[in-house]
Structure 1
Amino acid sequence: MKHLTNLLLSAWLVLAAHAAQAQEDVARQHIERGLAYASAGDTLLAFAEFERATDAAPSLADAHYHLGRLYGHRASSVETDFRDRVRAERALLEALRLRPSDPRYLLELARLRLKQHMKVDAGRLFNRALSAAEEQGDPDVLAEIHFNIGYIKELEYESQRHRRFRPFFRGPPVTEFYRLFDEQPSRYADAYLEDAPAIEDSGELAKEEMLEHYRAALRYDARHVGAAIRLMGYLFDEQRFAEYLALARRLRSEHPQRPEPYLFLGLGLHAAGREDEAAEAFEDGLARLHDDERAAIENLAPVLRRRAAEDYLDLSEEERAEFNSRYWQLTDPLYLTEANERRLEHLARVAYADLRFAAPEAGLRGWETDRGIVFVRYGAPDDIGVFGPDVTSRGNPYAIGRRSIIWSYGRDGPVFIFQQMPGYLDARFAGDYQFIAENYRALVPAKYDNIPSIPELLELPVQIARFRGDTPDEVAVEIHAALPLVELARELDLNKGELEVGLFLFDRYGENFLRRVGTEVVTYAESAETNEYRSWRILMPPVDFLVAAVETRDAVTWRAAAARDTFSAWAFSGDSLSVSDILVADAIRPLVEDPQKRFDYDIQVNPALEFVSGEPVHIYYELYGLASDPEGFASYDVALQVRVKRLERGGPIGQLLGALADAWGFSIVGDDRLELRFSREVRLDGRDRVTEYLALDPKEVPAGEYEIRLRVWDRLGEQLATRVRAFDVIGEE
């Protein structure tokens, strides 16, 4: 009987084992299907399969793990949205009850604790997971654990980075307009930062531990995207570009189809001034983006004024692409280089914003966050200060317990204050600062004055003057420039430099109309004595709108100077009165006894339209289409006004006008202007133009802005033509 009982028991155990194995096999089939659905993005079907797996084999730890893991990934970190977190916790704790030392289960529960804002518990669980994973020797799990421990250390470091003591006798940073009274936000914040001493070495230990854990994650798994990206962000901030670029290239090699490695590589190359390589990397990254992501990155609305942005967003996809092309072509800071440095700077800022400010827990890419938006518009701030949380709300409950982050762009630049919840990397505009940001956007929608490959972009004075060409349907455009050779040579040990000098004309569509580029060797040691003036004369058909760009660049130092101006090259009619532009010069000397055309004069043009007080101001202009009598004589009246637009130091304009009227022989004709009138009769003899020049030779003219207004009346043709030209007078150097 006893023998029979044992046989029956053995048979039952075998059958039970087979039944349990069958249940586990069914559960694992559900798990496989659930993972497939989850990978395809169908979470509802994935949840259903994982639930079926737990029902089929309640004692199968993996079934509870995958269910809890999926709930954990879907769970929000918002305090009030806890339903998925509770479900995830229940499933993961059951998995750990069944298999207490599985590092994967500990890892997922630790991640969940982070979303529950339980950093201390999360840290303990990560350490337990690390010990268990080291015993098992699973490199993938070890990499993931090191990455998550690195993230906890990053949260700790970010809570201490840029920390400062509050200034004595001052409360937390003010973020509401009504409390600033009449003080400008930028002046207030700049003074606040100036009085707030930095906390030395704040967060340095956490930073080193963070970096080591990210590096350990990459040692175990060279393909780990998260660890590579987090590490690259801090390498970039510390300007460790060699290591940064090596890591970006390795990430690109490991993930050749992902766009991020290319975009982050472009960021590093741009920071190193390697623009051609950066342009190639950015284009490779853009090509790998989904259409909606690429549209978001190429979207120019954030760097346009609000009304212009609204019009831009109303454009069709094709119209927007055409607008983008024109915008970047016409805003390129240096046409002398192959790369468009401004577009590359924009793409680099977008890439950096995604590298450093992305908020996955909020579903936001870096350029969509408040700090990312500001960074894309204005680049890196000049100064950053972080201050501990306020303990009172002062009417703003959102501010309780949140750190204040001040970004200052200098005393006269914008300032922005953000607030950040402990345990989060995302930060939002504080108080009224979203309004302040929009208000400043209306004044300055974007700034691109910190491009690495253009360490200094100097001003380059230019004067443009239009004359009739050889025929009435041809326009002669003169462009005169003064290269800032002394500034280009400042503090250089080089004896000689190779300068590129270029003139570029573009139409309203950004299409290249003219390009003239040359290279010349300049002796910097003699820059003060070297001729700085460059001039071009272009004969062209009438054009309604052109952009003129004059540039120079040193090939070694990358110092550059550039000027931009716009003009319309309208035709000067052959049968009606018209007048050329007024060409303003330092000196004009006729070369022949009866000068009849432009090159009968030696004209030393003043490109800057700027004169030292006491120096004479010379002007030259041409008249076309004058009517003549039967004997071939033209008769016309000239009224030349000089208007005082602004005096540098103020003062009574009436007294000044009296002195100038006496010095120049002009008459006072208003509260702010003088006028000289004269009449002339000229025998045309078949000429198509009459040339005029004169000099204003003042004794002393106060510094300020002045304007020349020229009016010509053709007495025979009864027609009027006018021109205006402004110039400045500066004090003695």
Structure 2
Amino acid sequence: MIRIFLLAVLTLGNCNSAFSESDSEMVDALLSSASDTSLSHSRRVGMMEKAARKDKTGRAMHAFARYYLNQNTVLSRQFARQWLRRAIKREPDNVDYQLTSAEIYWQSENRDKFYEEVRQVIAQNPSSVKALYWAGRHAAREMVYNLERETLHSGPERKKRFNYGAYGLEMRNQAIAYLTEALNQDPDHRRARTLLGQVYYEGHQPEELAELFKAYILTHPDDWHAYFFMGLGLQAKKDLDSAFNVYSKGLSRMSETERHFMQSIGMLVDRDALEESDDLPDDEALRRFWKGRDPLFLTPSNERLLEHCRRVAYANLRYGDPDRGTDGWETNRGQVYIRYGHPGSRNIYLDRANYVLLRETWSYPGFSVTFERINENRWNVLEVWMQGTVRSRYKDLLERVPEHYEDPYWLRQYDAPHQVAQFRAEDGKTRLELYYALPGEEVGHAEISSGVQSVDLRQGLFLFDAEWNEVKNSVQPLKKMPWIEGNIILEGYLFWGERLSLDPGSYHLAVEAEDRKAKTLGTFRDSLQIRKFGSENLELSGLLIAQRVVEHESRPFGRDRFMVLPNPLKQCQRDGHISFYFEIYNLSRDEFGATNYQVTYQTRLLPESHGEGEPVPKWTTAVSNTFQESRSWEPNYLKLDMQGLAPGPWAFRVVAEDLRNGQQAMSTAVFRVMP
């Protein structure tokens, strides 16, 4: 009897063991099936309930808790907590269960309780990467909140900015310690590394940010985000050339869709097009877009594209959703930041009960955008205010202000007065004469001889065709420049000129002159439509405004026979004079080779501002001259006396008429008479 009983007990024990193994496999299978998000809620819940009945541990109950936690509602969190309590009762020392309990507090906005539970886990298990990450996330959040608090709105009350001070420093240091330890335990923990990068950037430690991702790139050379975060650190250190180089490496590692998406934000008005990869601009369109926005061609990097990369890097660092795996550039706040940059001011609105952000308003020159918080990392655009309107749609803002960018050189940059005039050249080309002036007060200079000053400039002339393909790129030092002496009305200025032979068509022109010592920048840009000169009908060149024109009769016939002292300011004194140089083409000749033509000079005073419907002033004929020459084209010039002309803007027109065939041609220029 005894032997039979013992055998029965042993047999029963072996059966229980086999049954437990079978149950464990069934639990695994049920939980795996229940993780299929394509199934209905009832089917998933049914599978997890069946798994919970078979499970001797708390694993299935924990899966239930995670399922409800991911729904992120008040009721679902209650269900999650109920299932989690049962799981912890089964396995009280399970770290994952304790961390899920902490996440419920995080989702419920109970940050203090969350932080307490996470630190308890770290005390029990100092190598828990997940606990270290969550502790670092809490500390980083507290650091950022205190750092960014500029104006707090809590109901009708307005409070002054909180002091970052000791608490902010403490939170920054805690965040760095937790996240660094998390990376020591798991160097590939991407969320911990990204968050640590944010802490370094917001905590004004750009060198540490750059080094953090420089090390990561060594083992992850194809991760474009890492290059952008490293570039963000380098740019914050003012190492712009290195930053641009690193950003370029990141761009080259993006997929074609990612690169087009990244570079299109700010270019497209229709936000839906950003989400439809088929509608994104191609590489050529993007190249033209960014080339035309380079604020200074003298530098090797495109500062506007550099700023765009910085904004993308910061948006991904600051506004991403690590819980959903969403990059910051895909979020509402991220896209607004990329388009418009850092706001001039930022107002945040708090829930006074639990000290949680509800809304925040970003203010820019002429408009503001208010975001409404959905949860920790999701924000929607609530409303947009634009100057002169009560309330606007976000789409209206994009149409009126597609981007905002402040030129980094504006404090030391000034407009260089300039003029261009077009003349016929050989082989169907057009001669472009351009002149610009640099006011004496903007440039360091010293007299070398009468009419010549020594300078220390770096000058760049940049010419592009209509598609922003480079036609000319000339950068050279200037050590001396011609000088026009000023008087009590007009200041003295330096000037420079250039002649270009171009094919007819559309061009973009930029000239930049930097004083190497004072670091001032004289610049101008112009869109040019280079005309095509024909060979049959009477044509007139552009008018070149000049201080004076001197004809050297000993020189051969042609443009170089005339010394033109340009007037790029396009100004003259009321009691002075102004000159114009021009050329007439395709004059007809009789059987003896003689031409017969008339040139009429006309002026009219222009209004300072011309409203719609106002009458246009009539032309007044100053003088007409008749010429009989022997060449089919003639250079000509006129010295116009300003005596008696009223101060203000004036138009000057030359009308040429071929008296043999009646053809006419005309050309106009605008100048200003100073009082």
- TM-score, normalised to structure 2, is 0.81
2:533 to 546, 555, 572: 572
Distance between the aligned counterparts of 1:304 and 1:707, measured in 2?
Answer: 40
Equivalent residue letter for 1:719: Q
Shift of 1:519: 2.4
Shift of 1:352: 1.6
Shift of 1:605: 1.5
Q: Is the 8 A contact 1:390 1:402 kept in 2?
A: no
Higher strand share: 2
Distance between the aligned counterparts of 2:233 and 2:39, measured in 1?
Answer: 37
Q: Against the structure 1 CA distance between its residues 723 and 403, is the aligned structure 2 distance closer, same or farther, given a 3 Å change threshold? A: farther
Equivalent residue letter for 1:122: F
1:222-237 → structure 2 map (5 Å cutoff): 222=184, 223=187, 224-237=189-202
Equivalent residue letter for 1:285: G
Distance between the aligned counterparts of 2:342 and 2:576, measured in 1?
Answer: 44
Aligned residues: 647
Question: Greater relative contact order (Cα 8 A, min sep 6): structure 1 or 2?
Answer: 1
**1:530-567 superposed Cα distances (whole Å, 9 cap, x missing partner):** 97322111123x32211111123456886544321122
The residue number in structure 2 matching 1:679 is 624
The residue number in structure 2 matching 1:65 is 62
Q: Is the 8 A contact 1:458 1:484 kept in 2?
A: no
The residue number in structure 2 matching 1:646 is 608
Segments of structure 1 that go 5 or more residues without pairing to the other structure are: 173-195, 392-399, 491-495, 654-669
2:651 to 701, 707, 729: 707
2:135 to 146, 167, 170: 146
Structure 1, 578-587 or 311-320: larger mean CA deviation: 311-320
Q: Is the 8 A contact 1:211 1:231 kept in 2?
A: no
The residue number in structure 1 matching 2:381 is 429
The residue number in structure 1 matching 2:442 is 487
Shift of 1:332: 2.3
Distance between the aligned counterparts of 2:630 and 2:33, measured in 1?
Answer: 97
Q: Is the 8 A contact 1:628 1:635 kept in 2?
A: no
Distance between the aligned counterparts of 1:314 and 1:10, measured in 2?
Answer: 67
Segments of structure 2 that go 5 or more residues without pairing to the other structure are: 386-390, 446-453
Equivalent residue letter for 2:402: P
1:127 matches 2:119: yes
Distance between the aligned counterparts of 1:14 and 1:322, measured in 2?
Answer: 73
Equivalent residue letter for 2:264: N
User: Pairwise CA RMSD of aligned residues?
Assistant: 4.4
Distance between the aligned counterparts of 2:352 and 2:504, measured in 1?
Answer: 62
Shift of 1:374: 2.9
1:690 matches 2:632: no
1:719 matches 2:675: no
Question: Could you say what secondary structure the match of 2:636 adopts?
Answer: strand
The residue number in structure 1 matching 2:449 is none
Q: Is the 8 A contact 1:126 1:148 kept in 2?
A: no
Question: Could you say what secondary structure the match of 1:501 adopts?
Answer: strand
1:226-265 → structure 2 map (5 Å cutoff): 226-237=191-202, 239-265=204-230
Equivalent residue letter for 1:146: A
- TM-score, normalised to structure 1, is 0.75
1:587 to 548, 561, 568: 548
**1:468-498 superposed Cα distances (whole Å, 9 cap, x missing partner):** 1246x231111212246743669xxxxx986
Distance between the aligned counterparts of 2:274 and 2:541, measured in 1?
Answer: 38
Q: Is the 8 A contact 2:540 2:583 kept in 1?
A: yes
The residue number in structure 2 matching 1:303 is 267
Q: Is the 8 A contact 1:553 1:560 kept in 2?
A: yes
Question: Could you say what secondary structure the match of 1:532 adopts?
Answer: strand
Distance between the aligned counterparts of 1:23 and 1:515, measured in 2?
Answer: 76
Q: Is the 8 A contact 2:418 2:569 kept in 1?
A: yes
1:323-362 → structure 2 map (5 Å cutoff): 323-359=285-321
Question: Could you say what secondary structure the match of 1:221 adopts?
Answer: helix
The residue number in structure 2 matching 1:201 is 163
Question: Could you say what secondary structure the match of 2:160 adopts?
Answer: coil
Distance between the aligned counterparts of 2:652 and 2:159, measured in 1?
Answer: 54
The residue number in structure 1 matching 2:149 is 161
1:445 matches 2:402: yes
1:558-637 → structure 2 map (5 Å cutoff): 560-592=521-553, 597-611=558-572, 616-630=577-591, 632-637=594-599
Higher helix share: 1
Equivalent residue letter for 1:103: V
Structure 1, 708-717 or 13-22: larger mean CA deviation: 13-22
**1:590-640 superposed Cα distances (whole Å, 9 cap, x missing partner):** 333899543223222122434566553332222112234455132224141
Distance between the aligned counterparts of 2:600 and 2:329, measured in 1?
Answer: 59
Q: Against the structure 1 CA distance between its residues 110 and 290, is the aligned structure 2 distance closer, same or farther, given a 3 Å change threshold? A: farther
Shift of 1:390: 9.3
Shift of 1:237: 4.0
Q: Against the structure 1 CA distance between its residues 87 and 484, is the aligned structure 2 distance closer, same or farther, given a 3 Å change threshold? A: farther
Distance between the aligned counterparts of 1:221 and 1:595, measured in 2?
Answer: 80
Distance between the aligned counterparts of 1:356 and 1:554, measured in 2?
Answer: 39
Distance between the aligned counterparts of 1:587 and 1:638, measured in 2?
Answer: 20
Distance between the aligned counterparts of 1:483 and 1:727, measured in 2?
Answer: 18
Distance between the aligned counterparts of 1:297 and 1:569, measured in 2?
Answer: 35
The residue number in structure 1 matching 2:464 is 506
Q: Is the 8 A contact 2:257 2:277 kept in 1?
A: no
The residue number in structure 2 matching 1:661 is none
Question: Could you say what secondary structure the match of 1:645 adopts?
Answer: coil
Question: Could you say what secondary structure the match of 1:303 adopts?
Answer: coil
**1:419-451 superposed Cα distances (whole Å, 9 cap, x missing partner):** 444963554434443726544544442233244
Q: Against the structure 1 CA distance between its residues 238 and 578, is the aligned structure 2 distance closer, same or farther, given a 3 Å change threshold? A: farther
Q: Against the structure 1 CA distance between its residues 312 and 257, is the aligned structure 2 distance closer, same or farther, given a 3 Å change threshold? A: closer
